[in-house]
C-alpha cells in the first residue's frame, strides 16, 4: 500500500496514484525514513525483473543490494543521472532525491530510473559504424589505385585523391553528378554494371579532360540482396607503359653488363693478337658459330664478350656456361632446362635452360672440350635443328641464339682418340679463332702491364706509374704458363708489395718466383727453354709441349703434389690439370 502521508500530501486518492505511477515508462522506487520500500511500480518490476511482493515492505538494500537510497536518507543530497548496473545484462540511468515533510525533515527517498541497455548497445553500434566508415575512407584515400563509387542511380558518391590525380577531376566535379562525367572516350561501365549486376574487368577507355588512357574494373555493390551502387578501380595505362619501357631498358642494360667487355679491352699490338681481333670482328658481323681456341688465361671469355657486344644481338642476353664446372646431369638441366617432376627436387612448373634464356642473344659455352659424349650428342642436335628438349620432356622447343664455344684442348686429337664427336667438331669449328698465349707475344707485356697498373690503381687506391725496365726484362723472360691471367696476378701482387711512396714496380716487388731465380743466379728463362739451342732440331710445337710438361712437373714439386694449389698457381682449372697430367703421363 502507498504510504498515507504521501497520499495525503498529494490530495488524491490511492487508486489514482497507483494508476499514474504504474502508467509511467520509468521505474520508480520509494522508501520511508527507515529505508523500507513503500513504492515499486510496474516499470520498476519490469526493468529489475523483481516481483513487487518480494520488495514492498522490505528494506531496500536487502532486495536491491546496490541501491543508494539509504545513503540519500542519511545525507539528504540528491543524485542525478547516475549510471547503475543492476546485473550483467541490465544498465539503468537513475535520479535519486530525498522527500521532506512540511518541517524539512527527511521522510523518505525516491529513485526514478530508466533502462538504457538498448541505448548503450545502439550507441556502441553507431560508434563502431563510424569507426569502420572512417577506416574505410582512410584505406580508400591512401590507396594508389584511383577509385570512384556511384549509387544505384549512377550518381557519384565517393572518389579518392588518386582518382583526382589521375583524371584531374575533383569532388565538386563528380559527387552528385552522373557516372559519365569523367569519360572522355568510351562507355560508362558504372551504368553497364548497374544494369547487368555483373562485374567487368580490363575495359580500356579515356578519362578526364586530358584524355588519359586507362583500364577500368567495375563491380556492383550489393547489400542484403539489394543493388546499392557500383565501385570502379581505374588503372593508369600510361604509367604501366612507362614502367614497361623502363623495365625493358633496365633489362637491356643488365644484359649488356653481363657481356661487359669490348674489343677496346683486348690489349696488344702484336701480329698474332691483331689477327685474332680482326677475325673476331669479322665473326661478330655474322650469326655463325665461333670456336675460340687458346690456353687457359689467354682471354677467350674476353673475346666472347667483345664479339657479342659488336654483334646485332648486343642488346639481348649473353649467357655463360662453364661446361667443366658441373657434373653431366646438372649441366644437362642447366643447358636444356627441365619439366616439372623430371627428377627429385625439380622446381614446380619446371625451369628454362640457358638456351631458352639466351633468346635472341648469345650463349658462351666455355671449356666445351670437357663435355661428355652424351651431352655432345644433344648439343649436336641443337646446332643442327636449333631446338631443344627439356629434361623429362618430349616437346621440342625452338630456340634462337648465337653459340660461341671455347676450349684449351686439342680437339683434333680428342676427335681422333674418340673423346669428342667429329660431327660436333665440324659444327663448332665454323669460325675458329686462335688466341695466342702470352709467351708468343711478349712484346705486348709492357702494354698489358700498364693497363693492369691502371686497373689496380683504381681498385687499391694507389698511384703507381710504371714498371721499371729491369722488372720488364724479367717479365718478358718468363714463360707465363697462366698467360694474361697469371700476369694480372703478378702485377697485382707486385703493387701490394710496394709502399705508398713508391711509384715504380721494380724487381724487388715481383713475386718470389723471380727473386728466387735472381738469388740463385739462375737464368731468367722458363724450364725447357734450353731446348731452343741452335743444335736442337725440335719444332716449336714440340718445344712448347715439352715446356708445358716441365712447368707442370715443377709446379707440382713446389706444392708437394697438391694438385689443387698447383692448378691455382698455373691459372688453369683442376679438370684441365688432370687432363694434362694424363696427357703428359705425369704421376705426381
CA 546 from chain centre, in angstroms, equals 53
Do the first three CATH levels of 4-119 and 143-239 match, i.e. the same topology? yes
More confident residue, 361 or 567: 361
Give the relative orientation of helices 483-496 and 469-477 as an angle to the nearest 10 degrees: 150
Can you tell me the mean pLDDT for 312-331? 85
Check residues 98 and 133 and name the one with the higher pLDDT: 98
Q: Is the pLDDT of residue 518 over 70?
A: no
In this predicted structure, the answer to whether residue 93 has a pLDDT above a threshold of 70 is yes
pLDDT(211) > 50: yes
What is the rounded average pLDDT of the residues 410-432?
Answer: 92
Q: What are the domain boundaries of the chain? A: 4-119, 143-239, 259-434, 528-588
Query: Residue 238, CB half-sphere, CA atoms under 13 Å: how many?
Result: 9
Residue 391 has pLDDT above 80, yes or no: yes
Neighbour count for residue 430 (Cβ, 10 Å): 15
Lowest-pLDDT range, 255-269, 321-335, 505-519?
505-519
- Which has more pLDDT, 459 or 6? 459
Percent of the chain with pLDDT over 70: 85
| Contact indicator for 334, 354 with CB cutoff of 8 Å | yes
- pLDDT tens for 556-576 read 887 777 887 788 788 777 777
Q: What's the angle, vertex CA 211, arms to CA 216 and CA 167, rounded to 5?
A: 65
The CATH architecture that domain 143-239 belongs to is 2-Layer Sandwich (3.30)
Residue 527 banded pLDDT, cuts 50, 70, 90:
very low
Q: Are strands 387-388 and 397-398 parallel, antiparallel or unpaired?
A: antiparallel
Alpha-carbon span 187 to 191, nearest angstrom: 9
**Separation of alpha carbons 297 and 482, rounded Å:** 6
CATH class of 259-434: alpha beta
Give the model's pLDDT for residue 497.
84
pLDDT recorded at residue 36: 93
pLDDT of residue 2: 47
Q: ∠ CA(279), CA(325), CA(352), 5° rounding?
A: 85
Handedness of CA 282, 284, 287, 291 (dihedral sign): positive
User: 341 falls in which pLDDT band (50, 70, 90)?
Assistant: low
How many Å apart are CA 114 and CA 83, to the nearest integer?
Answer: 10
Q: Is 148 helix (H, G, I), strand (E, B) or coil?
A: strand
DSSP 225-246: TEEEEEEEEEEEHHHHHHHHHH
Query: Is pLDDT of 95 > 80?
Result: yes
pLDDT(104) > 80: yes
| pLDDT band for position 334 (cuts 50, 70, 90) | confident
Strand partners, 388: 397
Whether the pLDDT of residue 515 is over 70: the answer is no
Q: How many helices (H) and strands (E) does the chain have?
A: 24, 22
Q: Which fold has domain 528-588?
A: Arc Repressor Mutant, subunit A (1.10.10)
Per-residue pLDDT band for 551 (boundaries 50, 70, 90) equals confident
Nearest of 318, 206, 223 to residue 262 by alpha carbon: 318
Task: Residue count of the chain, please give it.
Answer: 588
Measured N-to-C along each axis, helices 445-460 and 483-496 cross at an angle, to the nearest 10 degrees, of 50
Of the candidate CATH numbers 3.30.450.20, 3.40.605.10, 3.40.50.1000, 3.30.830.10, the domain formed by 4-119 belongs to 3.30.450.20
- In the chain the first and final C-alpha atoms are separated, in Å, by 124
Tens of pLDDT along 149-199?
999 999 998 888 988 888 888 989 989 999 888 888 888 899 999 999 999
Residue 323, pLDDT above cutoff 90? no
Cβ–Cβ < 8 Å for 237, 215: yes
Q: Which strands sit side by side in the sheet containing 362-366, from one edge to the other?
A: 318-322, 362-366, 402-407, 290-293, 431-434
pLDDT band at 5 (very low <50, low <70, confident <90, very high): very low
For the purposes of burial, counting CB atoms within 10 Å of the CB of 37, is it exposed (0-12), middle (13-18) or buried (19 or more)? buried
The answer, as to whether pTM is greater than 0.75, is no
| Strand-pair partners of 239 | none
Residue 392: pLDDT over 50:
yes
pLDDT for res 290: 94
- Identity of the highest mean pLDDT range in 138-142, 160-164, 513-517: 160-164
Using CA atoms, how far residue 19 sits from 6, 24, 31, 41, in Å, is 15, 9, 19, 10
The residue behind cell 673475346 is 303
Residue 525's pLDDT band (cuts 50, 70, 90)? very low
Indicate the helix (H) or strand (E) that contains 388. Answer: strand 387-388
| pLDDT above 50 for 366 | yes
Q: How far apart are CA 21 and CA 17, in angstroms?
A: 6
CB 207 within 8 A of CB 235: no
- In terms of phi and psi (left: phi > 0; alpha: psi -120 to 50; beta: otherwise), the region of 131 is alpha
pLDDT of residue 223: 84
Cβ contact 400:359 at 8 Å = yes
Q: Residue 129 burial by CB count (10 A; 0-12/13-18/19+): exposed, middle or buried?
A: exposed
pLDDT tens, position by position, 231-280: 999 888 776 666 666 555 544 444 444 678 899 999 999 999 999 999 99
**What average pLDDT score do residues 344-365 get?**
80
User: Which of 402 and 115 is assigned the larger pLDDT?
Assistant: 402
Output helix, strand, coil percentages for the chain, rounded to the nearest 5. 45, 20, 30
81: left (phi over 0), alpha (psi -120 to 50) or beta: left
pLDDT of residue 570: 81
Yes or no: say if 222 and 151 are a contact pair by the CB < 8 Å rule: no
Mean pLDDT of the chain, nearest integer: 82
Measure the CA–CA gap between 269 and 447, rounded to whole angstroms: 8
Amino acid at each position: 500500500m502507498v504510504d498515507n502521508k504521501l497520499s495525503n500530501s498529494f490530495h488524491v486518492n490511492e487508486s489514482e496514484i497507483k494508476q499514474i505511477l504504474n502508467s509511467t515508462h520509468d521505474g520508480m522506487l520509494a522508501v520511508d525514513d527507515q529505508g523500507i520500500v513503500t513504492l515499486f511500480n510496474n516499470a520498476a518490476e519490469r526493468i529489475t525483473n523483481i516481483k513487487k511482493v518480494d520488495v514492498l515492505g522490505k528494506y531496500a538494500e536487502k532486495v536491491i543490494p546496490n541501491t543508494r537510497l539509504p545513503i540519500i536518507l542519511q545525507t539528504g543530497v540528491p543524485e542525478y543521472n547516475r549510471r547503475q548496473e543492476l546485473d550483467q545484462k541490465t544498465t539503468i540511468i537513475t535520479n535519486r532525491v530525498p522527500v521532506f515533510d512540511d518541517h524539512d525533515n527527511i521522510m523518505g527517498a525516491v529513485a526514478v530510473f530508466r533502462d538504457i541497455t538498448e541505448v548503450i548497445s545502439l550507441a556502441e553500434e553507431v560508434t563502431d559504424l563510424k569507426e569502420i566508415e572512417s577506416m574505410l575512407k582512410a584505406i580508400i584515400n591512401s590507396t594508389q589505385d584511383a577509385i570512384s563509387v556511384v549509387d544505384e542511380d549512377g550518381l557519384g558518391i565517393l572518389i579518392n585523391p588518386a582518382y583526382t590525380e589521375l583524371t584531374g577531376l575533383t569532388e565538386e566535379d563528380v559527387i552528385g553528378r552522373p557516372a559519365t562525367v569523367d569519360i572522355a572516350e568510351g562507355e560508362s561501365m558504372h551504368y553497364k554494371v548497374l544494369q547487368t549486376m555483373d562485374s567487368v574487368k580490363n575495359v580500356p577507355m579515356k578519362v578526364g579532360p586530358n584524355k588519359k588512357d586507362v583500364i577500368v574494373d567495375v563491380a556492383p555493390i550489393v547489400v542484403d540482396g539489394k543493388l546499392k551502387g557500383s565501385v570502379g578501380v581505374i588503372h593508369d595505362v600510361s604509367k604501366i607503359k612507362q614502367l614497361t619501357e623502363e623495365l625493358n631498358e633496365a633489362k637491356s642494360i643488365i644484359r649488356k653488363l653481363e657481356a661487359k667487355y669490348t674489343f677496346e679491352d683486348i690489349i696488344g699490338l702484336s701480329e698474332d693478337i691483331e689477327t685474332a681481333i680482326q677475325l673476331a670482328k669479322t665473326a661478330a658481323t655474322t650469326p655463325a658459330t665461333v670456336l675460340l681456341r687458346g690456353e687457359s688465361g689467354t682471354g677467350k671469355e674476353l673475346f666472347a664478350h667483345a664479339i657479342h657486344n659488336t654483334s646485332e644481338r648486343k642488346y639481348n642476353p649473353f649467357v655463360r656456361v662453364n661446361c667443366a664446372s658441373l657434373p653431366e646431369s646438372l649441366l644437362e638441366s642447366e643447358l636444356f632446362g627441365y619439366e616439372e617432376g623430371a627428377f627429385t627436387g625439380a622446381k614446380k612448373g619446371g625451369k628454362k635452360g640457358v638456351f631458352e634464356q639466351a633468346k635472341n642473344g648469345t650463349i658462351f659455352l666455355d671449356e666445351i672440350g670437357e663435355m661428355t659424349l652424351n651431352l655432345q650428342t644433344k648439343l649436336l642436335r641443337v646446332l643442327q635443328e636449333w631446338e631443344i628438349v627439356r629434361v623429362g620432356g618430349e616437346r621440342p622447343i625452338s630456340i634462337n641464339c648465337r653459340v660461341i664455344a671455347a676450349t684449351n684442348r686439342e680437339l683434333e686429337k680428342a676427335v681422333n682418340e674418340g673423346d669428342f664427336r667429329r660431327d660436333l667438331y665440324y659444327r663448332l669449328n665454323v669460325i675458329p679463332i686462335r688466341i695466342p698465349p702470352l709467351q708468343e707475344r711478349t712484346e705486348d707485356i709492357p702494354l698489358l702491364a700498364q693497363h693492369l697498373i691502371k686497373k689496380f690503381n683504381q681498385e687499391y687506391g694507389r698511384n703507381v706509374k710504371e714498371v721499371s725496365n729491369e722488372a720488364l726484362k724479367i717479365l718478358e723472360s718468363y714463360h707465363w704458363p697462366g698467360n694474361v691471367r697469371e700476369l694480372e696476378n703478378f702485377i697485382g701482387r707486385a703493387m701490394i708489395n710496394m709502399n705508398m711512396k713508391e711509384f715504380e714496380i721494380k724487381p724487388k716487388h715481383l713475386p718470389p718466383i723471380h727473386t728466387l731465380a735472381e738469388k740463385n743466379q739462375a737464368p731468367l728463362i722458363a724450364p725447357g727453354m734450353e731446348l731452343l739451342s741452335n743444335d736442337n732440331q725440335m719444332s716449336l710445337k714440340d718445344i712448347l709441349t715439352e715446356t708445358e710438361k716441365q712447368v707442370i712437373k715443377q709446379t707440382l714439386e713446389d706444392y708437394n703434389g697438391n694438385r689443387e694449389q698447383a692448378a691455382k698457381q698455373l691459372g688453369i682449372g683442376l679438370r684441365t690439370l688432370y687432363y694434362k697430367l694424363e696427357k703428359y703421363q705425369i704421376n705426381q
